[in-house]
Amino acid sequence: MAIEQTIDSQLQLVFVIGFDNDGGEILARKNYNNIKPDVETTPLNEVALALASLRDAELKEAFRNDQSLLLNNQ
């Protein structure tokens, strides 16, 4: 049986920085690495909103990207 162990997390904020000639959104991403894997969702979301408030661009989405190690438990 395999065991999954989260070893790293990343917070990614996606901002709308403008619009192209067809009216499509132009997006910019900002990544924050080395987020502790055991941080809960609510405090991480509060950090995302606080960081986004420092930018002039509109926050479109915030992602939490987890990296996991799969271990074979024998």
Which pLDDT tens digit goes with each residue over 25-62? 999 999 999 999 999 999 999 999 999 999 999 999 99
Which pLDDT tens digit goes with each residue over 1-23? 889 999 999 999 999 999 999 99
pLDDT, residue 74, reads 66
Tallying the residues shown for the chain, one arrives at: 74
Q: Domains of the chain: which residue ranges?
A: 2-72
Q: Which residues of 30-40 are buried (b: 16+ CB within 10 A; e: fewer)?
A: eeeeebeeeee
> What is the model's pTM?
0.85
Q: How far is CA 59 from CA 23, 45, 46, 71, in A?
A: 18, 12, 13, 36
